[in-house]
Structure 1
Amino acid sequence: MSAPYLSLTWTDHVTGRLGFLVVDRLVRGVASGGLRMRPGCTLGEVAGLARGMTMKEALHYDPEGRYVPLGGAKGGIDCDPRDPEAYGVLVRYLRATRPYIEAFWTTGEDLGLSQDLVDRAAAEAGLVSTVQAVYPLLDDERAARQRLADAFAVEVDGIGLDELVGGCGVAESVLTALDRTGTPYAGTRVAVQGLGTMGGATARFLARAGLTIVAVADIKGTVSNPAGLDVEALLAARDAHGTVDRSALRPEDRETSPDAWLSVDADVLVPAAVSYAIDPDNQGRITAPLIVEAANMPVLPEAEALLTARGVTVLPDVVVNSGTNAWWWWTLFGDIAPDARSSFDHTRRSMRALVDLMLSRAERDGTTPRAAAHALAADRLPVIEARYGRHRPI
């Protein structure tokens, strides 16, 4: 893959903390990718995520759709989001990167940050919107912005629609893989690492589809129950960072170490929290035959090679968690209405088609799902660039 269009490191003059921005590629002069905040975030991590965004955008290319995929980008800040200084660092980062956001980088929430927090910090940094670079590509900017605002105002059973669509896509990825092997939903056991935006929504959709959530992990530890956890009670007991209030647990629910989710007796593992969660050392503890990457880059390549060698299937992040990003653009460009039914229906159809295509390609080529996803993206990128170019039309 070619060198990124832009790669920079920023130093906060107040705290000395570092921030990063990588724009992997522009399409029509614009790139898309969220902003994460976590301790230990690196430029290499952000670069990998930006490349992944280029692929996610390409994988959702529909020549008949109003939404035309953008280029890929990512931002990152090396800071604990729970740190009292974190909000100030976020505002100063956005102020420093404001020229890029105004010109060609559209961004939003990612690991460690909520969209409400990003929007508040962006306003303080003087930005009109974190997606304002895409406005010149819209047929009717006012109507498009209203659609997105209307969609963000929707709640479903106490959770915002914007928080649910990504988990809907992850759940649909799981269900598609089960359907291809004829595995019944009832009796299929799932362990989820992370009960934040993505993990919590995934757990809800899978539980409502009839699967049994036997374990969830947060920063405090792993909560498990072989008979199944009360997912809705756990979701209602979360704080802003996805940590569950232990007073909501039932007597039969057990608490163990934060990494115990790896070895839980489950059929499906859903890492939905941090990157690099599964490495060559701990992958041997996994007995689940299917890993579905809801987080970005949770399985290290060396670990995935070892897992594949012993028959474990890994569904890659570039497909599995791509629904959130696509939903923003489906809504903004007008492919879907700003309501729950349209959002979930379109997400389910699109994710099922994409996962099925990826798994069929993997079978045909005799490769892993990740290699198949990369091959599909590689096929589509030249088509998109030939049709739309890298730069904004004059």
Structure 2
Amino acid sequence: MTSLSPAPLISLTWTDHVTGTEGYLVVDRLVRGVSSGGLRMREGCSLAEVAGLARGMSMKEALHFDADNPGARYIPLGGAKGGIDCDPRAPGAYGVLVRFLRAMRPYVEHVWTTGEDLGLSQDLVDRAATEAGLVSTVQAAYPLLDDETGARRRLAEAFAVTVDGIGLDELVGGCGVAESALAAMDRAGVPHGGARVSLQGFGTMGGATARFLSRAGLTVVAVADVEGTIGNPAGLDVEALLAARDAHGTVDRGALRHGDRELPADAWLAADAEVLVPAAVSYAVNTVNQAAIKARWVVEAANMPVLPEAESLLAGRGVTVLPDVVVNSGTNAWWWWTLFGDIGPDAEEAFAHTRRSMRALTDRVLERAAADGCTPRTAAHALVADRLPVMAERFGWYR
């Protein structure tokens, strides 16, 4: 099979025998017998949502396949995703997580490599995985490694690296999102200095993206969390807000400065900004609220934040959506660049490799979009369609 199949390879629903909570695993496809995709926990998570995310992971993996670089050690995997319909803040959420991973243990051991996603931190996933009897959440990839011991040590050392108080594993995703946005701005000739950005979500991805865009010269004018939007047209102090957030990305309002304002939850969407970054929940931008967007670019740091119908309306208004399958693919790729040995456990090396790879990928997608007269998402899909047959021929689904 040389293209994305109409149905996933594996699709299952799990019911927690203690609470009745449902969880889901979808393996969209395998490459060399292995798939990759995070585990999210949020109230309202559905099988359809997880299936869409798994399909997106197949695309992200294919987009990072460098067929012309024989020296690359990272060979992309298939796509998968896990999800649990539970509020991660609920008192019994951790127990649900442990029981889900215990039930999914045969899949994690053999075909599904996973990690943190919406609602979960990597530390929490790792702790739950240990309690569930797993060696690692990426152990399905171990048979593909030339030196398993060295690879595991390299990844563990990378996860121990911090930069200005934030873990490297949290920062690389935001570095990739920021580089995608900067690449689009550079192609359009828009200078970084003076450009404004508004973000929904200030957790792992949103917080890191805000840091990198701020350090690139953009002014962060709005940040939204579960308590509402914090805005300041003169610019927010990103580092102060990062220092004042809790484990779920909620900012302590006591840290706000003079000029910072507390605004309604959806104020981030209508902010006067060139760049809009939805970095929280799926389906955040719909056919109604898209009309409030003033930004030139919507940069999808979250998975599936813009509904397809809304994207069509935005395109008609000249607003470019940089798609999630490109923009937020850096986190997943960093895991594999590190584990397979393309980079070492060093922050500057990781950021340089991420910037180089994400800029090249974004440029390639935007060039294809310009040549074909289509949206960047359609262009990304076309690139995936070009690459999947090559991956299937070289590596197969199961071998």
State the 1:264 CA deviation.
0.8
2:93 pairs with one of 67, 75, 86: 86
Partner of 2:250: 243
Partner of 2:211: 204
Matched, 1:110 2:117: yes
| Amino acid corresponding to residue 47 of structure 2 in structure 1 | L
Distance 1:13 1:212 in 2: 49
SS at match of 1:48: helix
1:288 is aligned with what amino acid?
Answer: A
2:34 maps to which residue?
A: 30
**Aligned-partner Cα distance in 2 for 1:100–1:378:** 27
Following superposition, which runs of at least 4 residues in structure 1 exceed 6 angstroms of deviation?
none
1:54 matches 2:61 = no
Shift of 1:344: 0.3
Shift of 1:251: 1.9
Could you say which residue in structure 2 is the equivalent of 1:276? 283
Q: Which amino acid aligns with 2:104?
A: T
Q: Work out the CA distance in 2 between the residues paired with 1:34 and 1:264.
A: 31
State the match for 1:180 in structure 2. 187
The match for 2:22 among 18, 30, 42 is 18
CA distance in 1, matches of 2:16, 2:316: 44
Letter in 1 for 2:122: Q
Instruction: Give the Cα–Cα distance (whole angstroms) in 1 for the partners of residues 240 and 59 of structure 2.
Output: 36
**Matched AA of 2:343:** I
Between 1-10 and 199-208, report the one with greater CA deviation.
1-10
Shift of 1:281: 1.3
Q: What CA deviation, in whole Å up to 9, does each residue of 1:162-185 have, x standing for no partner?
A: 000000000000100010011010
2 CA distance for matches of 1:257 and 1:113?
25
The aligned counterpart of 1:370 is 377
For 1:372-387, what aligned pairs fall within 5 Å after superposition?
372-387=379-394
Render the CA deviation track for 1:20-62: whole Å, top value 9, x for unaligned: 0000000000000000000000000000000000000000012
- SS at 1:199 equivalent: helix
Mind listing any 5+ residue stretches in structure 2 that lack a counterpart? Answer: none
Q: Measure the CA separation in 2 of the matches of 1:62 and 1:312.
A: 30
Q: Does 1:100 pair with 2:107?
A: yes
1:98-150 Cα deviation digits (max 9, x unpaired): 01000100000000000000000000000000000000000000000000000
Q: 2:326 aligns with which of 319, 327, 338?
A: 319
- Structure 2 length normalisation: TM-score? 0.98
Q: Which residue of 1 aligns with 2:350?
A: 343
Shift of 1:337: 1.0
3-state DSSP class of the match of 2:265? coil
Give the match for residue 356 of structure 1: 363
- Post-superposition shift, 1:287? 1.0
Does structure 1 residue 293 correspond to structure 2 residue 300? Answer: yes
Looking at structure 2, the residues matched to 161 and 299 of structure 1 have their Cα atoms a distance apart, in angstroms, of 28
Q: 1:305 aligns with which of 299, 312, 317?
A: 312
TM-score (norm 1): 0.99
Counterpart residue type for residue 313 of structure 1: T
Q: Using the alignment, how far apart are the partners of 1:211 and 1:251 within structure 2?
A: 20
Q: What SS does the aligned partner of 1:259 have?
A: helix
Does residue 129 of the first structure (1) align with residue 136 of the second (2)? yes
Partners of 1:289 and 1:203 in 2: CA distance: 17
Distance 1:34 1:122 in 2: 13
State the match for 2:224 in structure 1: 217
TM alignment of 1:143-154, pairs within 5 A = 143-154=150-161
State the AA in 2 paired with 1:5.
Answer: L
1:5 to 9, 13, 16: 9
State the distance in 1 between where 2:330 and 2:128 align. Answer: 25
RMSD (Å), alpha carbons: 0.5
Looking at structure 2, the residues matched to 235 and 339 of structure 1 have their Cα atoms a distance apart, in angstroms, of 22
How many positions carry a matched residue from both structures?
392
